[in-house]
Chain A
Amino acid sequence: MQNLEDLKEQVRKALPELDVVIGWTGGYDPLHATPHFIRRDEDIDKLQVNALCVHNLATYLPSMRGKKVGIIVKGCDSRSVVELLQEKLIDREDVTIFGFGCTGVVDQTKIRRIVGDVGNIDSCEVSGSEVKVSASGTEHKLAMSDVLSEKCATCRYPNAVLSDHFAGAEITSTATFEDGYKDVVEFEEKPEEEKFGFWLKEMDRCIRCYACRNACPMCVCRDHCVAQSRDPHWLSQEAHVRDKWMFQVIHAYHLAGRCTECGECQRACPVDIPILLFKKKMNKEIKEVFDYEAGINPDATPPLMTFKAEEDKITERKW
């Protein structure tokens, strides 16, 4: 990020009034960043903002309600903050939003596909157009376009949609809504059997760790999720693909009209199940039916949190 020093300065000025500011810092190796909780002045120096800062930090906000929290957001992350505000799950006066113009983050799975063994990363340099990685002594120059997260390649909201502080210049996006759903359209066109077969195969390796759920900023039931409730015992705990898949269907439905498509569910999955596709399908439907996108306008009411006596595109009374 070009204006990291500006951002640091903004954080430094705001920190005395806040309990914590959440950002990112270097992780266990040079290829990975990790969420960073800034409480002291010296923590600010460790702040890192670049294409490795994949995590959507908004996921921490609901559980920190009551504290004065600063949060550094990419455009997509800011949509989650807005959606949380829309649903009154966080309080505007308690959250200080530090935005910046984001040029996209990497997809670590794509990097693994190209580099192969990423077990020993000697160094990693990230620029706007390239990720230069040295792994086990071998240098790999990866074009950013090859390792960019899919959501970033078709991003329409690179700048925080809501912020109290904004560092650097805004980024211009030319992508359209349709650009972001080409994969869904392609999938929709496949025969039912093939689609079902795809999910059975992919979901079979799910370990039911619920990283998808817990990384999701909009999954706010947390400790009260139906997936593990014991009384009533809604979901079988068997390791059958039926039950694993069932949870993903529940997750997608609970996110209908709420999902800001940050992709954390898929990124968090330790066994690389492409579950974002479920959520994207739902978002595409929501757009078609309600002409609505989650987390854009803090004053808007999500379509499934209200009702109209006569919906524009639902013709239930005219059968």
Chain B
Amino acid sequence: MAQTKFIKKESLSAWLEELGQAHTVLAPRFEGDSIIFRPYDSEKGVFIDREATAPPKKAIFPQSETLLEYSQIKDMENLTKIAIDVKETIPTTTYVVFGGRPCDARGFTMFDRVYLDGDQVDVYYKARRENTCFITLTCEKGETTCFCNAVGSGPSDPDGSDLLITPVTDGYYIECVSTKGEGLLASSLLTDGSSMEGEATKYKQAADASMNEAPDFTGSPEKLLAVFDNGPFWEEMSDKCISCGACTYLCPTCYCFNITDEANGLKGTRIRSWDNCMSSMFTSEASGHNPRPAKANRLKNRVGHKFSYYPDIHGGVISCCGCGRCIKSCPVGVDIREMVKSAIAFVDPTAKEVPAEEPKAAPTEKPAPKETSVKAENTSAKAKKNKKSKKPASKKKGAK
């Protein structure tokens, strides 16, 4: 039986202070009119009554992070000789993310399959992942835009979290979910929580019951592939999209990045920063060709990646945690649920009727090839060709 604890509501800030002695505690608070995760500041407090505007994605996947620092050292005897000093910068700070929601923490399980579980381990991600704990808050109720219940989760899902805290009378019931979480339970502010289990269970049940009926995404991987080449379908789906990156950067499961060298004289840093498939530059190749020239191609990738290509190679898991931020923060109200449902419901009016017992032909067209290795080659080729360029062309981790 996992450990359970209780903390009084009034002891919460003291606990966060305690945790802050060993870790950087990130907690949501109002900044202007938005709720943002920031290093905990007892004077500014926390605001956990609603889902934060931006998820705590930056804790493990910063908006930009330094991969290495370099400096060019001139040989004063022979100025044509330049040595390069490179320093790898593996992050060491430990973080505790407090007050995120189950969807926020679960988002990183989508990252894990890509950055940790494959042939290549991303050392930067791994370091941050191991150095970060999530103290997640059970949701009181779902919002109109919430659909975690449609993607295999729910308002008290502990998946991806280290501790799950649930509001009970005068405080919070704390469940330990992982070994990392155990390390956060040493505080004398925490008392035995077993007597609160019943109340917490009721709270969770009420949260489950508050959720809207889950949209049915059954069959999305095949159905999205079936409309892959349907240009008019995607043009209509993307009519109102303005091709910005709000959906992607607020998404707890979007993990694509760009790599650039940011030079400052003879010194510089190689950074990776968030990139998004809504941007034209995202798939721009060194040759000048862009396989996704229009917003319809790009939006198709966003939907397809989450609801088709990712589940296709990761055991059917939809790469969306249902937080709904892409819907409510979209400047023009693009709704990913509607697009997936439209693809599922789409019937090709020109298709010949197939007898019921005969299975429909599997779609032959697969999405654009995974671009990671291809792109790396392309960019290195460009870098070689253009020796004068101080800044090598960007590399990108594509849909994986």
Q: Are A223 and B280 within 8 A (Cβ)? A: yes
B145 to chain A: closest residue by CB: A28
How distant is B184 from chain A, measured CB to nearest CB, in Å? 27
Task: Give the docked Cα–Cα distance between A211 and B31 (Å).
Answer: 19
Q: How many residues of A contact B (CB 8 A)?
A: 51
Q: Are B144 and A271 within 8 A (Cβ)? A: no
Q: Are A273 and B32 within 8 A (Cβ)? A: yes
B382 to chain A: closest residue by CB: A231
User: In this assembly, does B262 line the interface, its C-beta being within 8 Å of a C-beta of chain A?
Assistant: yes
User: In this assembly, does B273 line the interface, its C-beta being within 8 Å of a C-beta of chain A?
Assistant: yes
Q: Are A202 and B32 within 8 A (Cβ)? A: yes
B326 to chain A: closest residue by CB: A270
Task: Give the docked Cα–Cα distance between A226 and B32 (Å).
Answer: 28
**Residues in B365-400 with C-beta less than 8 Å from chain A:** 389, 391, 393-394
Q: Which of A3-11, A109-117, A182-190 contacts B (4 or more CB under 8 A)?
A: A109-117
A230 to chain B: closest residue by CB: B394
Within the complex, which residue of B32, B250, B269, B333 is in contact with A28, where a contact is CB–CB below 8 Å? B333
Within the complex, which residue of A28, A63, A272 is in contact with B144, where a contact is CB–CB below 8 Å? A28
User: In this assembly, does A237 line the interface, its C-beta being within 8 Å of a C-beta of chain B?
Assistant: yes
A236 to chain B: closest residue by CB: B262
**Residues in A190-242 with C-beta less than 8 Å from chain B:** 202, 205, 207-211, 213-215, 222-223, 228-231, 233, 236-240
Q: Which of A31-39, A254-262, A278-286 contacts B (4 or more CB under 8 A)?
A: A31-39
**Residues in B204-248 with C-beta less than 8 Å from chain A:** 236, 239-240, 242-246, 248
Q: Are A215 and B244 within 8 A (Cβ)? A: yes
Which of B144, B271, B332, B394 has its CB near the most chain A CB atoms (within 10 A)?
A: B332
Task: Give the docked Cα–Cα distance between A109 and B271 (Å).
Answer: 34
Q: Are A119 and B50 within 8 A (Cβ)? A: yes
Q: Are B33 and A210 within 8 A (Cβ)? A: no
User: In this assembly, does A79 line the interface, its C-beta being within 8 Å of a C-beta of chain B?
Assistant: no
B31 to chain A: closest residue by CB: A205
Q: Are B335 and A237 within 8 A (Cβ)? A: no
Q: Are A211 and B236 within 8 A (Cβ)? A: no
Q: Are B239 and A207 within 8 A (Cβ)? A: no
Which of B34, B54, B284, B335 has its CB near the most chain A CB atoms (within 10 A)?
A: B34
Query: Which size class do B's interface residues fall under?
Result: 35 or more
Task: Give the docked Cα–Cα distance between A109 and B33 (Å).
Answer: 7
A26 to chain B: closest residue by CB: B333
User: In this assembly, does B141 line the interface, its C-beta being within 8 Å of a C-beta of chain A?
Assistant: yes
Q: Are A214 and B281 within 8 A (Cβ)? A: no
User: In this assembly, does B51 line the interface, its C-beta being within 8 Å of a C-beta of chain A?
Assistant: yes
Which of B240, B284, B295 has its CB near the most chain A CB atoms (within 10 A)?
A: B240
Within the complex, which residue of A63, A205, A209, A230 is in contact with B246, where a contact is CB–CB below 8 Å? A209
How distant is B213 from chain A, measured CB to nearest CB, in Å? 14
Known: A37-B240, A237-B271, A272-B33. A223 touches B143 (CB 8 A): no
Task: Give the docked Cα–Cα distance between A27 and B242 (Å).
Answer: 16
Within the complex, which residue of A117, A119, A238 is in contact with B145, where a contact is CB–CB below 8 Å? A119
**Residues in A104-147 with C-beta less than 8 Å from chain B:** 109, 112-113, 117, 119-121, 136
User: In this assembly, does B195 line the interface, its C-beta being within 8 Å of a C-beta of chain A?
Assistant: no
User: In this assembly, does B329 line the interface, its C-beta being within 8 Å of a C-beta of chain A?
Assistant: yes
Known: A233-B260, A237-B262. A34 touches B333 (CB 8 A): yes
User: In this assembly, does B64 line the interface, its C-beta being within 8 Å of a C-beta of chain A?
Assistant: yes
Task: Give the docked Cα–Cα distance between A33 and B121 (Å).
Answer: 44
Q: Are B389 and A231 within 8 A (Cβ)? A: yes
Q: Are B281 and A228 within 8 A (Cβ)? A: yes
The 8 A CB mask of B344-366 against A (1 = contact, 0 = none) is: 00000000000000000000000
User: In this assembly, does B49 line the interface, its C-beta being within 8 Å of a C-beta of chain A?
Assistant: yes
The 8 A CB mask of B40-63 against A (1 = contact, 0 = none) is: 000000000111011000000011
Task: Give the docked Cα–Cα distance between A271 and B54 (Å).
Answer: 8
User: In this assembly, does B125 line the interface, its C-beta being within 8 Å of a C-beta of chain A?
Assistant: no
Q: Are A272 and B393 within 8 A (Cβ)? A: no
Within the complex, which residue of B144, B242, B393 is in contact with A211, where a contact is CB–CB below 8 Å? B242
Q: Are B281 and A230 within 8 A (Cβ)? A: yes
User: In this assembly, does A55 line the interface, its C-beta being within 8 Å of a C-beta of chain B?
Assistant: yes
How distant is B53 from chain A, measured CB to nearest CB, in Å? 6
- Chain B residues contacting A29 (CB-CB under 8 Å) are 144-145
Task: Give the docked Cα–Cα distance between A27 and B145 (Å).
Answer: 11
Q: Are B34 and A120 within 8 A (Cβ)? A: no
**Residues in A243-293 with C-beta less than 8 Å from chain B:** 264, 267-268, 270-274
B50 to chain A: closest residue by CB: A117
Q: Are B249 and A35 within 8 A (Cβ)? A: no
Q: Are B63 and A207 within 8 A (Cβ)? A: yes
Q: Are A238 and B250 within 8 A (Cβ)? A: no
Which of A28, A55, A223 has its CB near the most chain B CB atoms (within 10 A)?
A: A28
- Chain A residues contacting B269 (CB-CB under 8 Å) are 238
User: In this assembly, does B327 line the interface, its C-beta being within 8 Å of a C-beta of chain A?
Assistant: yes
User: In this assembly, does B70 line the interface, its C-beta being within 8 Å of a C-beta of chain A?
Assistant: no
- Chain B residues contacting A264 (CB-CB under 8 Å) are 331
How distant is A309 from chain B, measured CB to nearest CB, in Å? 40
User: In this assembly, does B258 line the interface, its C-beta being within 8 Å of a C-beta of chain A?
Assistant: yes
User: In this assembly, does A103 line the interface, its C-beta being within 8 Å of a C-beta of chain B?
Assistant: no
User: In this assembly, does B274 line the interface, its C-beta being within 8 Å of a C-beta of chain A?
Assistant: yes
Closest 9 CB pairs of A and B: A119-B143, A34-B333, A268-B331, A223-B280, A239-B63, A209-B245, A211-B244, A272-B33, A214-B244
- A sample of 20 inter-chain contacts (CB < 8 A) reads A28-B144, A55-B331, A109-B33, A119-B51, A120-B143, A136-B141, A208-B273, A209-B248, A210-B244, A211-B331, A215-B332, A228-B279, A230-B281, A230-B393, A237-B64, A237-B260, A238-B273, A239-B62, A239-B273, A270-B34
